[in-house]
Amino acid sequence: MIARGKIGPVDAAACTVVRRERIGRILAAQGKLDIAGFEQVIRLQQARGLRFGEAALRLHLITLEDLREALAKQYDYPHLPLHGDDFSPDLAVSRDARHPQAEQFRALRTQLLVRWSGLGREPRALAIVSPGPFEGRSFVAANLAVLFAQLGLRTLLIDADLRAPRQFQIFNIPDRIGLSAVLSDRAGREAAVPVPAFGPLAVLPAGAQPPNPQELLLRPSLAAFLEHTDREYDVILFDTPPARESADAQCVAFCAGSVLVLSRTNHTRVDDAATLVRDLGDAGALVVGTVLNAF
């Protein structure tokens, strides 16, 4: 994934990671190490000059998954097991903090924070759009939402694809009530579903698929909903349908104010992406950057 955008000073307070406890104490508190095991690890650590976790692994006293869980607690970030959880494999950033995809997403997150810091808008609302299908909008939106929440930012991910929604599947949440109910005045802010596994993250699924998605998105209800949530969230991200197939994405982008344009390697036509950027600008939306999705 390649992100293009203007780089400037980063909000250090938003990006600070607090280290709390030592790995040994965390493993002991989780019942992974007893006193005898702890002493074994210390002896090997001192004899070989190893890190505590590495020494514990060499002694086969803990598993790699035990160590990953302890590191997540030590550095205060959400953790999912590599296998056996209830979430989609699309949430790459939550399973392996050192995965190349995770690093690319962190770079994108940083660039967005930089751009937003110069705009002075609160909350930071962003629509993620692309010209056609299968270009990774839902994938990018979901992973960015998780990463913003990892910073401690109260994050709301809204699935505004009322035609082929995916976020309820990615996060394994109910989709009976969602954005379509909010826009038709049948639900309010309570329709957003907290996802505690990822910290201060909530997801508003698309809900029931309406026969008139564009008309719903053009109603004042969406802008009113955003006004009512501005004190509850620091970041609001929108997943959208393909911009080339309907004007839904443009409606959402105009309401959000800021847009990230996504294209995919060997899939998106350059002319389609350029046309979308131009059309969004003509509609009054600010394109804060473009992303080339190589995954």
Q: Is the pLDDT of residue 54 over 50?
A: yes
Q: Which tens digits make up the pLDDT trace of 198-247? A: 889 999 999 999 999 999 999 999 999 988 887 899 999 999 999 999 99
Q: Is 219 left (phi over 0), alpha (psi -120 to 50) or beta?
A: beta
Number of domains in the chain: 2
Higher-pLDDT residue of 175 and 2 is 175
pLDDT of residue 86: 74
pLDDT of residue 8: 34
Collect all residues with Cβ–Cβ distance below 8 Å to 224 and sequence separation of at least 6.
Answer: none
Residues 126 and 96 in one domain: yes
Residues 155 and 210 in one domain: yes
Asked whether residue 273 is domain-assigned, the answer is yes
Q: Is the pLDDT of residue 175 over 50?
A: yes
Average pLDDT, the chain: 85
pLDDT of residue 149: 92
Average pLDDT over residues 256-274: 91
Residue range of the domain that includes 125? 86-293
Q: Cα separation of 221 and 188, whole Å?
A: 10
Domain closes at, from 51, 74, 97:
74
Residues 110 and 157 in one domain: yes
pTM higher than 0.75 for the full model?
yes
Collect all residues with Cβ–Cβ distance below 8 Å to 61 and sequence separation of at least 6.
Answer: 32, 33, 37, 40, 41
Residues 70 and 91 in one domain: no
Residues 63 and 115 in one domain: no
Asked whether residue 117 is domain-assigned, the answer is yes
Asked whether residue 79 is domain-assigned, the answer is no
